[in-house]
Amino acid sequence: MPVPLLDVNAQNLPLEPELKLAFERVLRSGQFILGPDVALFEKEIAELTGVRHAVGVSSGTDAILLALMALDIKSGDEVLCPSFTFFATAGCISRAGATPVFVDSCPICFNLDVADAAKKLSGRTKAIIPVHLFGQCAAMDPVLGLATEHAISVIEDAAQALGAGYKGRRAGSMGTMGTFSFFPSKNLGGFGDSGMLVTNDDTLAERAQLLRTHGAKPKYYHQFVGANFRIDTMQAALLRIKLQHYQTYTERRQRNAAFYSERLSKLPGVFQSHICSCGNNSGSELPTGIQLILPASHSETEHIWNQYTLRVVGSGRRDALKRFLGEKGIGCEIYYPVPLHRQECFRYLGCDNDALPIAMRLADEVLSIPIYPELKSEQLEEVVAAIAAFLRK
Ligand SMILES: *Cc1c(COP(=O)(O)O)cnc(C)c1O
């Protein structure tokens, strides 16, 4: 049985009757811009996240850009962000006119290394963007501590972490602002592009709302230069249907991750660490003979497993495993093959590879395997069997 990396139809088609009803309701309403469905979707996301305000926007990328614009981050400012993340995090900093300053990552949880962030602060640093990569929160207490000490803003890029937890708080609710994406491959996957900005700050929420519609208030009177960052009404109505099932999706992802971790950890050459160097530990040396490192879910976080990401140790081994799984009809992907400081568009920054060793290493070692909620147990078994066969080679 083939095992795709993601099967959106397996999730969406069982909801077809409910989705059709929502579609028809919006169609007949004739209202396709903002309106009650957007307001209700915003309220529901605010409740799930535990924040006062949510602003529905056109994409996860635009949510980050809008957050930076609401904070008035501009040319001459610096913003800290990981090098090992999706491009949008840093791309938005550039689009706001500011300069991304790349921070290294923790090799265990894949998130921003706060000690490294502290070293890269300057008098021009205005904000830090921790990314809750693969569905697990970054070490937010140290991030917030650093931000408070230096009076900088925190934008949580929670595109992959809707509903993820950190010490009882929700991703997106801990910083100055948080951003989500409903791109089809995210845990709450929509039918096209959309996203959300959340915040507990009344002033920033109002600014974000204005900037979402060209900074106009009232209509045709512009206080700020914004843009069109609105979420579609149709999209919000359809996402509200899927949101009702979100808890089930998350539980199934967690069940799949637990299955992988339980089964894969028993194979020879496989290592699972619970010690994380972005907290208080300074990282631990690997035992010898390790071929594969499993992702760790920390006790203080509630991981929602947007990705289950392995590290394949040894020169060329990651690419060999990717080929091997591909030949067996098992989908897998490299998130992300090129650290952002190595991207051509950021070459002008002159970042030194030696300064970001973990980002470089992760880009060579990571491989994400299928984790989506609707995976069947035979499919999970097949993935484990294939990895076991590869390790024996
Ligand atoms: C997906 C993603 C984004 C961008 O979201 P879009 O909705 O695709 O624009 C930003 N940051 C991270 C970490 C992401 O995974």
pLDDT digits (tens, 9 = 90+) for 300-358: 899 999 999 999 999 999 999 999 999 999 999 999 999 999 999 999 999 887 889 99
Of 182, 208, 243, which residue constitutes the final position of a domain?
A: 243
Of 190, 213, 243, which residue constitutes the final position of a domain?
A: 243
Q: Ligand 1: residues whose CB is within 6 Å?
A: 59-61, 85-86, 88-89, 131, 157, 159-160, 181, 183, 193, 195
User: CA separation (Å) from 226 to 19, 77, 383?
Assistant: 32, 19, 47
**Is the entire prediction scored with pTM above 0.85?**
yes
Q: Same structural domain for residues 233 and 301? A: no
CATH number assigned to the domain comprising residue 136: 3.40.640.10
d(C-alpha 325, C-alpha 49), whole Å: 36
Distance in Å, CA 59 to ligand 1 centroid: 8
Ligand 1 atom showing the smallest separation from residue 131 Cα: 13
Q: Same structural domain for residues 283 and 135? A: no
User: CA separation (Å) from 293 to 265, 272, 298, 313?
Assistant: 9, 6, 15, 8
Distance in Å, CA 131 to ligand 1 centroid: 10
**Long-range pairs for 321-324 at CB < 8 Å and ≥24 separation?**
321/367, 321/387, 321/390, 322/367, 324/386, 324/389, 324/390, 324/393
In a domain, residue 50? The reply is yes
In a domain, residue 237? The reply is yes
Q: Same structural domain for residues 178 and 258? A: no
In a domain, residue 204? The reply is yes
Q: Same structural domain for residues 354 and 324? A: yes
**Beta strand residue intervals within the chain, DSSP E:** 53-57, 78-82, 99-103, 125-128, 153-157, 165-166, 169-170, 177-181, 195-199, 270-272, 292-294, 301-302, 308-312, 366-369
Q: Same structural domain for residues 179 and 262? A: no
Q: Same structural domain for residues 175 and 250? A: no
Three-state SS at 276: coil
Distance in Å, CA 348 to ligand 1 centroid: 24
Counting ligand 1 atoms within 8 A of each CB, the residue from 160, 188, 191, 307 with the most, and so the one to mutate, is 160
In this predicted structure, what is the pLDDT of residue 277? 59
140, 192 Cβ separation under 8 angstroms = no
pLDDT in tens, 147-196: 999 999 999 999 999 999 999 999 999 999 999 999 999 999 999 999 99
In a domain, residue 3? The reply is no
Q: Same structural domain for residues 309 and 220? A: no
Q: Same structural domain for residues 237 and 271? A: no
Of 209, 228, 243, which residue constitutes the final position of a domain?
A: 243
Band (pLDDT 50/70/90 cuts) for residue 284 is low
Q: Same structural domain for residues 288 and 229? A: no
27, 253 Cβ separation under 8 angstroms = no
The Cβ-side half-sphere exposure at 24, using a 13 Å CA radius, reads 6
**What is the count of structural domains for the chain?**
2
Averaged pLDDT of the chain: 95
Per-residue burial over 91-106, b if 16 or more Cβ lie within 10 Å, else e, is: bbbeebebbbbbbbbb
Distance in Å, CA 207 to ligand 1 centroid: 22
Distance in Å, CA 93 to ligand 1 centroid: 14
Q: Same structural domain for residues 239 and 260? A: no
pLDDT at 282 over 70: no
In a domain, residue 1? The reply is no
% of the chain at pLDDT higher than 90: 90
Section 44-55 average pLDDT: 98
pLDDT in tens, 244-258: 999 999 999 999 999
Distance in Å, CA 224 to ligand 1 centroid: 25
In a domain, residue 95? The reply is yes
Q: Same structural domain for residues 284 and 355? A: yes
Q: β-strands 169-170, 165-166: how paired?
A: antiparallel
Q: Which domain holds residue 52?
A: 8-102+111-243
Section 97-111 average pLDDT: 95
In this predicted structure, what is the pLDDT of residue 354? 81
pLDDT in tens, 78-87: 999 999 999 9
Residue nearest to atom 1 of ligand 1 (CA): 159
In this predicted structure, what is the pLDDT of residue 280? 44
Q: Same structural domain for residues 144 and 163? A: yes
Residue nearest to atom 6 of ligand 1 (CA): 60
In a domain, residue 151? The reply is yes
In a domain, residue 162? The reply is yes
Per-residue burial over 351-372, b if 16 or more Cβ lie within 10 Å, else e, is: beeebbebbbbbbbbbbbbbbb
CATH number assigned to the domain comprising residue 282: 3.90.1150.10
pLDDT at 276 over 90: no
